Amino acid sequence: MGISFDNIDGVIWYDGRLVPWQDANVHILTHGLHYASCVFEGERAYGGRVFKSTEHSERLKRSADILDFEIPFSVAEIDAAKQLVIDANKLPDAYLRPVAWRGSEMMGVAAQTNTIHLAIAAWNWPSYFDPATKLKGIRMCLAEYRRPDPATIPALAKASGLYMICTISKHKAERAGYADAMMLDWQGRVAECTGANIFFVKDGAIHTPIADCFLAGITRATVIDLARRRGIAVIERRIMPDELDGFSECFITGSAAEVTPVAEIADWRFTPGRISELLMNDYAAEVQPKGKAAAA
């Protein structure tokens, strides 16, 4: 086991100031811990700049609004704080975790006057999946749990409570020798993975589920744009599991996963091919700061 995440050298931005990593703590009776009144982002910095930082900060604010609280910092202030964390920790290439939550003034379901906190941490986190075997495609199983009906949860927020079934599903997948699990929605249609969106390829076109009961990722939107720049058709539609036999390629996208091909989902097989590799390379070029990309 590697170093514990509560014992890393560095600083964390916490409610407007940088504090030593080990001092960035919350009380055990924090509302966000007991009642999941907590939202977060997962972002990456490349070459000293956070990729699509403002889009992530805007989504963080929207997620908090959906959970009925307001983060007491503007989008511009959050962007600046993320850059400060990257610079202070000397981490030009890093993963960032902004997180906002209700504090501990009231302990009960209702906590409208609790202080809203915001913290931002950054650390070295290489590719989510092994780069040496990434193009071969990862193996996934089918998750037992499904994405819930959006009438029952705030599905369009990046909220901590929504990831409970993702953790359960990923643990079960890893114990069975898989890298991840594909989740269906509450109606049995293809939805996403435990922490990434999913795409399929058929006859040179890309198909991906409509993101109305799960998070439409920022990486997802980036890859859709990259594909369309290449003249590749992208079709957002309902996809049923029995259609998976008709797809030739599959890949997943996310800030942590970036673009990762898939070779297997339960009994379905795919062959990582031209479109998956093309978008892997296009995304790798897209995330680099423009000056660095031009100089390369």
* pLDDT score recorded for residue 131: 63
The larger pLDDT score, comparing residue 291 to residue 127, is at: 127
Mean pLDDT across the stretch 216-231? Answer: 98
* pLDDT score recorded for residue 51: 97
Mean pLDDT across the stretch 48-76? Answer: 98
DSSP states of 89-145 as a string? Answer: TT-SSEEEEEEEEE-SS--SS--TTSPEEEEEEEE----SS-TTTGGG-EEEEE-SS
Q: What is the CA radius of gyration of the chain?
A: 19
What mean pLDDT, rounded, does the chain reach?
A: 94
* CATH code of the region 134-286: 3.20.10.10
Span 184-202, pLDDT tens digits: 999 999 999 999 999 999 9
Q: Which of 52, 82, 158, 170 is catalytic?
A: 158
Contact 94, 255 (CB under 8 A): no
**Percent of the chain whose predicted confidence (pLDDT) is above 70:** 95
In this chain, the answer to whether the domains covering 11-123 and 134-286 adopt an identical fold is: no
Structure tokens that stand for 231 in this block: 């003249």
Q: β-strand 180-184 against 138-142: which pairing, if any?
A: parallel
pLDDT greater than 70 at residue 276: yes
Q: Is 268 exposed, middle or buried (0-12, 13-18, 19+ CB in 10 A)?
A: buried
* Domain locations in the chain as residue ranges: 11-123, 134-286
Alpha carbon distance 190, 163 (integer Å): 17
pLDDT greater than 50 at residue 223: yes
Alpha carbon distance 154, 134 (integer Å): 33
Phi-psi region of 231 (alpha: psi -120 to 50; beta: other; left: phi over 0): left
Span 229-248, pLDDT tens digits: 999 999 999 999 999 999 99
* pLDDT score recorded for residue 107: 93
Number of H helices, E strands in the chain: 7, 16
* pLDDT score recorded for residue 3: 75
* pLDDT score recorded for residue 289: 87
* pLDDT score recorded for residue 296: 39
pLDDT greater than 90 at residue 15: yes
pLDDT greater than 60 at residue 177: yes
The larger pLDDT score, comparing residue 129 to residue 254, is at: 254
* pLDDT score recorded for residue 132: 65
* pLDDT score recorded for residue 293: 42
Contact 134, 126 (CB under 8 A): no
Span 140-170, pLDDT tens digits: 999 999 999 999 999 999 999 999 999 999 9
Catalytic (active site) residue 158: yes
Range with the poorest average pLDDT among 3-7, 127-131, 190-194: 127-131
- Name every residue whose Cβ is closer than 8 Å to that of residue 231 and which is 6 or more positions away in sequence: none
Pick the CATH number of 11-123 from 3.40.50.300, 3.40.50.720, 3.30.470.10, 3.40.50.2300: 3.30.470.10
Q: Tokens 């290449």 — which residue?
A: 230
